[in-house]
């Protein structure tokens, strides 16, 4: 337990995070390209067309991972918000704040690709389906978080307000996930299952998982870079920040 507490507080140190993120970011970038390039190839060329939807189903390889990422990133923000409120850890607030624009981008990507996919399947770009509507609410939560935290000048007050909003909005995540089971919707149920057999052929599952991992590595890469810069900016004037900025400027 003492080791975990020591590890936890060590990661809360801005200097330690700055040093570690500088070493980890290139690895995340490398893993992103190692998964994205083959994932994109198999998504567009290597995988077969769907027996019902034809070539239009290929948008799934962008839409589904983007939707997964939108919920994953908001969950990360909610956890970071809890850490901010309980332990008042500055780094947790930074992670949440740099995650919000990325999460909003993935949510918008999921909504746009879903609309493009829905046109040939449903005959319309948009319906007020439970899954689509709750995903749209998630986009508003991301945008609301960004607007709220940037409108408050005091960093501590902004961190607390953003953390509360992130924790309140987390109730929307199970609604998104279970909406196709709780209500009668046009959106198809999940075909990839963690527990149980997935209702998708391996030739389609592999590129889908590759793209999913690629998006996660991309998120980790961008968060490390963005948080690293934010940590340095917030700690400017301190000895370690001045030394780091001096080394960076050489």
Within a domain: 129: yes
Count of domains observed in the chain: 1
Within a domain: 163: yes
Alpha helices in the chain (DSSP H): 2-11, 14-41, 60-87, 90-122, 130-151, 155-169, 172-182, 202-234, 239-248
Within a domain: 201: yes
Within a domain: 229: yes
Within a domain: 7: no
Within a domain: 24: no
Q: Are 211 and 61 in contact (CB under 8 A)?
A: yes
Does 198 score more than 70 pLDDT? no
Q: Which long-range contacts (CB under 8 A, 24 or more apart) does 145-151 make?
A: 145/77, 145/96, 145/100, 145/169, 146/100, 146/101, 146/104, 149/97, 149/100
- Which domain does 239 fall in, by range? 59-243
Using alpha carbons only, give the angle 81, 103, 38 rounded to the nearest 5 degrees. 130
Within a domain: 155: yes
Average predicted confidence (pLDDT) for the chain: 89
Q: How far apart are CA 144 and CA 162, in angstroms?
A: 9
Mean pLDDT is lowest, of 144-148, 187-191, 237-241, for 187-191
Within a domain: 30: no
Mean pLDDT is lowest, of 66-80, 112-126, 205-219, for 112-126
Mean pLDDT is lowest, of 159-163, 187-191, 220-224, for 187-191
């Amino acid at each position: 337990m003492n080791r975990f507490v020591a590890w936890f507080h060590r990661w809360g140190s801005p200097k330690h995070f700055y040093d570690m993120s500088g070493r980890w970011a290139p690895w995340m970038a490398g893993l992103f390209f190692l998964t994205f390039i083959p994932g994109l190839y198999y998504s567009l060329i290597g995988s077969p067309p769907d027996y019902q939807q034809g070539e239009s189903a290929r948008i799934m390889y962008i839409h589904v991972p983007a939707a997964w990422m939108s919920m994953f990133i908001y969950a990360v923000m909610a956890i970071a918000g809890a850490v901010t409120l309980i332990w008042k850890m500055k780094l947790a607030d930074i992670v949440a704040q740099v995650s919000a624009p990325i999460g909003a981008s993935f949510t918008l990507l999921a909504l746009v690709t879903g609309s493009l996919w829905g046109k040939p399947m449903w005959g319309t770009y948009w319906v007020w389906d439970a899954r689509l509507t709750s995903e749209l609410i998630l986009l508003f939560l991301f945008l609301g978080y960004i607007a709220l935290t940037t409108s408050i000048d005091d960093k501590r007050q902004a961190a607390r307000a953003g953390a509360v909003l992130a924790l309140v909005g987390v109730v929307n995540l199970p609604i998104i996930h279970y909406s196709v089971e709780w209500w009668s919707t046009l959106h198809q149920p999940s075909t990839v299952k963690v527990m149980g057999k997935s209702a998708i052929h391996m030739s389609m599952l592999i590129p889908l998982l590759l793209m999913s991992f690629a998006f996660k590595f991309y998120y980790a890469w961008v968060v490390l870079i963005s948080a690293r810069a934010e940590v340095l900016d917030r700690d400017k004037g301190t000895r370690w920040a001045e030394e780091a900025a001096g080394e960076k400027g050489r």
